[in-house]
Chains A and B, each alone.
Chain A
Amino acid sequence: MTIKIRMRGKVKGPIAEVKALIKHPMESGVRMNKKTGKPYPAKYIESVSITVNGTEAVTSQWSGAVSANPYLAVKLTATKGDKIAISLTDNMGETGTSQITLK
């Protein structure tokens, strides 16, 4: 299973704003299952990396306190034609990648 990502980029002068919506439960491992009395097993995205034309621009580490189906926006110095890629990994080893070309 791979993690689904929707990404969009908008160029505004010298800066491009890149937004991503990620489909992920982001289970912190604290929430209780009321029927069994045991917590739901933790499953959350641990690391995110965004690259511009293959060069790392933003790296990030998350905890289970980021909301479910995370939304993320960053600003990059990039222009038309630049390739923006995002890749992420969760604590269970699942990964997801997505790439766009700025228009």
Chain B
Amino acid sequence: MKRRSFLKNTLATGTAVIAANAGLLTPTTVLADWNKKAFSAKTTDEALSNVFGSANAVESSDIKLKAPAIAENGAVTPVTVDASTMSGVESIAIMASKNPQPLVCEYTFGAAAVGFVSTRIKMGQTMDVIAVVKAGGKLFKAQQEVKVTIGGCGG
């Protein structure tokens, strides 16, 4: 019993020390860590302000959001966000407004990338898909409603 608790304690302190070291030595990797706050946010506004620091996004017709009007299977909803006509696209976030945690994914682009993303997301019910694009320091958004028919048959 003693041996067991001894091992447990040494292991716990050991990892704590490693974690502390990592924090001190590599602040950049810590910054790039998974944004837990944004992904656990319960509303789209909360998620947005945690990702971009602001929730004021302006609707823009330059963002081409492609999603099906009716998704027969909400677990695989294809979503394409094309903001390639906009200049200076820094990042794109895709949100599903009524999911328990709305933020689905967030992409940050470097110099060699075009503002374009295509992926597949899960949706629990009929709701809006929202694409938020950060371009030139400003936030733009586009949204579209997707009807999720769980019973199949395309009804």
Contact = CB atoms under 8 A, between A and B. Distances in A.
Interface stretch (A3-11, A33-41, A50-58): A50-58
Interface in A28-68: 28, 30, 46-47, 50, 52, 55-68
Contacts of B39: 61, 63
B76 A67 contact: yes
Contact of B113 (A30, A58, A70): A58
Given A46-B34, A77-B112, A63 B103 contact: yes
Interface of B: 32, 34-35, 39, 75-78, 80, 84, 96, 99-101, 103-114, 116-122
A67 B105 contact: no
A6 B113 CA distance: 20
Contacts of B80: 73
Contacts of B84: 75
Complex A-B, nearest 10 residue pairs according to Cβ-Cβ distance, in ascending order: A73-B118, A75-B114, A67-B120, A57-B112, A75-B116, A65-B104, A57-B113, A60-B107, A46-B34, A52-B112
A13 to B, nearest CB: 12
Given A28-B122, A66-B122, A74 B100 contact: no
B121 A75 contact: no
Contacts of B101: 63, 65
Given A47-B34, A77-B112, A60 B106 contact: yes
Contact of B114 (A26, A62, A76): A76
Contact of B107 (A26, A56, A59, A68): A59
Contacts of A65: 96, 99, 101, 103-105, 121-122
B122 to A, nearest CB: 5
A58 B108 contact: yes
A78 B112 contact: yes
Contact of B119 (A46, A72, A78): A72
